[in-house]
């Protein structure tokens, strides 16, 4: 693992927590969007720089090796911060649970008014990351990846749509809402490039196809 990547990971948790805290304290309205991914032209460059290799084994993988939904600020964990960020008019109780609001799911175009209908999707799924290089990370590094509020890695979407995606890469699954596929591919490449994760040939081909149409 490169020194640059190690330094990035070392500051990720602190910077993400600070950004989340600042947003919760000062933002008068919800951002209603995950962080903007790199432009399509940059994503195409990034994609060309990613290591291409056969997908690794899932042996040894467990979600527990990617501690997620950690506390970000006060009583608010990562899931609750993303629900607040991605929704409109979100109301939270004293435990930071969302008790009201409206959420638009970018993957399928559905609108929800109950937080229970939303999952927080990891743009690059945890198991996919494991097979693409994260198996060699420390638990602390995997925790930072699983709670990254700075990169376009977390987004609130319809729960059963997230479950249908599971741990599939873009060679196997893309959002049904075609208008979002360009953003999805840009975000996927942004995250994989930042974390130094590999792509397989089918995944790269699918990403190239989407990005060339952006």
Per-residue pLDDT of the chain (214 residues; tens, 9 = 90+): 444 343 344 334 333 333 333 333 333 333 468 999 999 999 999 999 999 999 999 999 999 999 999 999 999 999 999 999 999 999 999 999 999 999 999 999 999 999 999 999 999 999 999 999 999 999 999 999 999 999 999 999 999 999 999 999 999 999 999 999 999 999 999 999 999 999 999 999 999 999 999 9
- Please report where in the chains the tokens 């930072």 appear, as a residue: 144
Helix (H, G, I), strand (E, B) or coil at 113: coil
Would you say 98 and 87 are in contact if contact means Cβ atoms under 8 Å apart? yes
């Amino acid at each position: 693992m490169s020194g640059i990547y190690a330094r990035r990971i070392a500051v990720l948790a602190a910077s993400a927590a600070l950004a989340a805290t600042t947003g919760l304290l000062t933002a008068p309205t919800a951002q209603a969007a995950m962080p903007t991914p790199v432009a399509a032209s940059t994503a195409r460059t990034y994609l060309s720089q990613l290591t291409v290799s056969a997908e690794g084994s899932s042996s040894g993988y467990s979600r527990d090796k990617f501690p997620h939904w950690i506390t970000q600020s006060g009583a608010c964990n990562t899931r609750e911060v993303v629900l607040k960020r991605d929704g409109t008019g979100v109301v939270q109780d004293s435990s930071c649970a969302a008790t009201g609001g409206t959420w638009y799911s970018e993957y399928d175009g559905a609108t929800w008014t109950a937080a229970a209908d939303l999952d927080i999707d990891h743009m690059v799924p945890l198991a996919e990351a494991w097979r693409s290089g994260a198996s060699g990370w420390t638990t602390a590094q995997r925790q930072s990846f699983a709670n990254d509020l700075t990169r376009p890695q977390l987004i609130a979407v319809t729960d059963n749509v997230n479950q249908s995606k599971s741990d599939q890469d873009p060679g196997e699954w893309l959002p049904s809402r075609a208008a979002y596929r360009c953003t999805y591919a840009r975000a996927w490449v942004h995250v994989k490039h930042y974390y130094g994760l590999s792509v397989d040939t089918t995944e790269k081909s699918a990403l190239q196809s989407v990005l060339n149409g952006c």
